[in-house]
Amino acid sequence: KRGNVERTLIAVKPDGVQRRLVGQIMQRFEQRGFKLVGLKMLQVSDDLLSQHYCELRTKPFYPRLLHYMTSGPVVAMVWEGHKVVQTSRTMVGHTNPAEAQAGTVRGDFSFHVSRNVVHASDSLEGAQREIQLWFQRKELLNWDCCDQTITCEWVNLNI
Catalytic residues: 119
Q: What letter represents residue 66's amino acid? A: L
- The reply to whether 8 sits in an annotated binding site is no
Report, in Å, the least distance between residue 95 CB and ligand GDP.
3
Does 111 interact with ligand GDP (rule: CB under 6 A)? no
CA atoms within 13 A on the CB side of 148: 13
Task: Decide: helix, strand or coil at residue 138.
Answer: helix
User: Which residue's beta carbon is nearest to the bound Mg ion?
Assistant: 122
**122 touches ligand GDP by CB under 6 A:** yes
Residue 108 interacting with Mg ion (CB under 5 A) = no
The only residue of 87, 104, 110, 116 in contact with ligand GDP, by rule CB under 6 A = 116
Please check whether residue 91 is in contact with residue 105, taking contact to mean a CB–CB distance below 8 angstroms: yes
Q: How near is the Cβ of 136 to Mg ion at its closest, in Å?
A: 22
Contact 9, 37 (CB under 8 A): no
Among 26, 33, 122, 155, binds Mg ion (CB under 5 A): 122
Q: In this structure, are residues 68 and 114 in contact, taking their beta carbons and an 8 Å threshold?
A: yes
Instruction: Tell me the site size for ligand GDP, rule CB under 6 A.
Output: 10
Which of 39, 56, 50 is closest to 141 using CA atoms? 39
The residue (of 72 and 145) whose beta carbon lies closer to ligand GDP is 72
Helix ranges (DSSP H) in the chain: 14-18, 22-32, 46-52, 62-69, 84-92, 105-109, 124-134, 148-151
Give yes or no for a contact between 76 and 42, defined as CB atoms under 8 angstroms apart.
Answer: yes
Which of 63/141 has CB closer to ligand GDP? 63
Give the shortest CB-117-to-ligand GDP separation in angstroms: 9
114 binds ligand GDP (CB under 6 A): yes
Q: Which residue ranges make up the site for ligand GDP (CB under 6 A)?
A: 56, 61, 64-65, 95, 113-114, 116, 119, 122
Residues near Mg ion (CB under 5 A): 122
